[in-house]
Amino acid sequence: MLTGIILQAHPTIRQKITLCQWMGCDRFIWNAKCDEQKYLLAYARRYLPIGTFPPVDQKFSQYKSKELSPWLYDCPSQILRNSASRWYNTQRAFMKGQCGAPRRKRKSNKASVLLTRELFRFEKCADGVTRLFIGTKTNNIGYLSLKIHRSFAIPNSITISRENERYLVSLCYDDGVDEADLKTAEQHLEYLSQCSREELERFTIGIDRGVARPVQAGEDVYDLTEEQKKKKKAKERYIRRCQRRLSKQQKSSKRRRKMRHRLAKASTKIANIRKDFCHKTSHSIVNREATKVIILEDLNTSGMTKKPAPKKDCQSRRFLPNRRKAKSGLNRSILDKCWYQLEIYLRYKAHRAGKAVFAVPAHHTSQECADCGHTHPNNRKRQDLFSCQCCGHADHADHNAAEVIKKRAINSFLHSGTELSRRGVLLGIGRGAIHKTPAVKAACARGSEASKEKALATAVA
Ligand SMILES: [Zn+2]
């Protein structure tokens, strides 16, 4: 099974300059290939019969010219070839419908270069430290200072990337774990459907993701540490200050460029705090001894964080207030809790550990009682308190939601009609975990009609 890791590099100033030049050459070839393809497509569309497409190749020697692009001769030709082949692979994937078309790259603070086997060498030196030599025999930058925080097998290629003056080496290697040995979600579901309720109760954990408490996993609460919260807050304050100053600076000035760089750096710090939280939380949840099955709620985060639609008054043709600012504040705090990132980390880590991750439909998890199943908005009087109007069950709202999620999943496992959607959501049954028969449906409909009449009667009275 392929595993990827990212190592932080600390190049010297000379090395940085050379690496930047190589990244520029890489981008030049990529953009030239994009332009060429665009031109050929336009030509074919205009002058050739319908259905004729230009050939796709990975040639790049036509861009090397002593007069027009002499700097390409300073760069190892393997880098140019790698760039062309990277573009070729992307274009082929696009033609198969697997991804978008390769686009031109902009000159920005983000860049990368792909180095294949002939351009790097991991050497075990006399002092026992592994060092990375970059370049060919005649054209190289010497040894790159690297923080190797874990062991790995020698890869076939590495990518050196730069983002906000941070240099990273990412590599991919085979860790020896056979993919065929690990169970798929369908196999997990099949096994779980044969377990008893007691067994499922014992090794299943429900996870509720929220805004006030980012993660509630069973009895445990996961949140940022006090120090991280403090650091994050300070950085956010710093970003606001920088943005105020940026707004008054002249476009394309040096100071503005510097300020943008500072902003980008501060934003990266905050993103790193979030990433750290997600990694530590997912690691802790997956490595629990007793837990074998992890249940999430199926949240459409991108849909939940959309801006509200504008409201328009038909008569006066004016826009009415639609609480957009309040919604954007909520969106920010939802996105700040990185629900989706956590889900991705949980899924891949659980898969490697041989554990299962499923999702259940998310509707009314915060209003349903974990004890009796009574669902009503009045059950949640306060943000943190859940108190059932039917049976009197009182609990912290997030803990109650985690229990509801767990209960739904267990009912789904025990139900024979449960199916798995492509996103790993348990489907085929309602949130009550049983199919509603026509008689039950009719009764529910009657009930709602009766309550409508009752409400109407009290309103009239
Ligand atoms: Zn209840």
One-letter identity of residue 320: L
The CA distance from 328 to 305, in Å, is: 8
pLDDT on residue 372: 85
Kindly tell me the number of DSSP H helices and DSSP E strands found in the chain. Answer: 11, 19
pLDDT on residue 433: 42
Tell me: pLDDT of 437 over 60: no
Ligand 1 centroid from CA 400, angstroms: 10
pLDDT on residue 181: 87
Ligand 1 centroid from CA 89, angstroms: 57
Ligand 1 centroid from CA 155, angstroms: 56
Ligand 1 centroid from CA 12, angstroms: 64
Query: Predicted confidence band at 23 (pLDDT cuts at 50, 70, 90)?
Result: very high
Tell me: pLDDT of 432 over 60: no
pLDDT tens for 293-303 read 999 999 998 89
Q: Return the minimum-mean-pLDDT range out of 159-173, 215-229, 361-375, 413-427.
A: 413-427
pLDDT on residue 431: 47
What count of other Cβ atoms lies within 10 Å of the Cβ of residue 131?
16
Q: Each residue of 45-60: b (16+ CB within 10 Å) or e?
A: eeeeeeeeebeeebeb
Query: Predicted confidence band at 450 (pLDDT cuts at 50, 70, 90)?
Result: low
> How many Cα atoms occupy the beta-carbon half-sphere of 162 within 13 Å?
19
Ligand 1 centroid from CA 200, angstroms: 22
Ligand 1 centroid from CA 375, angstroms: 8
Ligand 1 centroid from CA 386, angstroms: 10
Ligand 1 centroid from CA 447, angstroms: 19
Ligand 1 centroid from CA 387, angstroms: 8
pLDDT on residue 390: 85
Tokens encoding 427: 């489907």
Tell me: pLDDT of 457 over 80: no
Tell me: pLDDT of 223 over 70: yes
Tell me: pLDDT of 313 over 70: yes
For the sheet with 215-217, list strands across it: 220-222, 215-217, 204-209, 293-298, 356-361
pLDDT on residue 436: 52
Q: Which distant-in-sequence residues (6+ apart) come within 8 Å of 13 by Cβ? A: none
pLDDT on residue 51: 85
Ligand 1 centroid from CA 302, angstroms: 32
Across the range 56-76, mean pLDDT stands at: 93
The CA distance from 282 to 279, in Å, is: 5
Ligand 1 centroid from CA 376, angstroms: 10
Across the range 33-40, mean pLDDT stands at: 95
Ligand 1 centroid from CA 204, angstroms: 22
* DSSP character string of 218-284: TTEEE---HHHHHHHHHHHHHHHHHHHHHHTSPTT-HHHHHHHHHHHHHHHHHHHHHHHHHHHHHHH
Mean pLDDT of the chain: 89
Ligand 1 centroid from CA 389, angstroms: 7
Ligand 1 centroid from CA 222, angstroms: 26
* DSSP character string of 384-440: SEEE-TTT--EEEHHHHHHHHHHHHHHHHHHSTT-EE-TTSBEESS-TTSSPPPHHH
pLDDT tens for 105-115 read 998 889 999 99
Percentage, residues of the chain above pLDDT 90: 62
Ligand 1 centroid from CA 385, angstroms: 13
Ligand 1 centroid from CA 425, angstroms: 26
Ligand 1 centroid from CA 117, angstroms: 63
Comparing 420 with 287, which gets the higher pLDDT? Answer: 287
Tell me: pLDDT of 178 over 90: no
Comparing 325 with 459, which gets the higher pLDDT? Answer: 325
pLDDT on residue 453: 63
Across the range 233-242, mean pLDDT stands at: 96
Tell me: pLDDT of 448 over 70: no
Comparing C-alpha atoms, which of 109, 139, 102, 124 is closest to residue 24? 109
Ligand 1 centroid from CA 435, angstroms: 21
Tell me: pLDDT of 434 over 70: no
pLDDT tens for 335-384 read 999 999 999 999 999 999 999 999 998 888 888 988 888 888 888 888 88
What count of other Cβ atoms lies within 10 Å of the Cβ of residue 226?
8
Ligand 1 centroid from CA 105, angstroms: 57
> How many Cα atoms occupy the beta-carbon half-sphere of 90 within 13 Å?
16
Ligand 1 centroid from CA 395, angstroms: 11
Ligand 1 centroid from CA 54, angstroms: 67
> How many Cα atoms occupy the beta-carbon half-sphere of 103 within 13 Å?
5
Ligand 1 centroid from CA 397, angstroms: 13
Comparing C-alpha atoms, which of 334, 346, 219 is closest to residue 281? 346
Query: Predicted confidence band at 82 (pLDDT cuts at 50, 70, 90)?
Result: very high
5, exposed or middle or buried, with CB in 10 Å at 0-12, 13-18, 19+? Answer: middle
Query: Predicted confidence band at 314 (pLDDT cuts at 50, 70, 90)?
Result: confident
Ligand 1 centroid from CA 401, angstroms: 13
Ligand 1 centroid from CA 368, angstroms: 8
pLDDT tens for 249-274 read 999 999 999 999 999 999 999 999 99
pLDDT on residue 445: 60
One-letter identity of residue 151: S
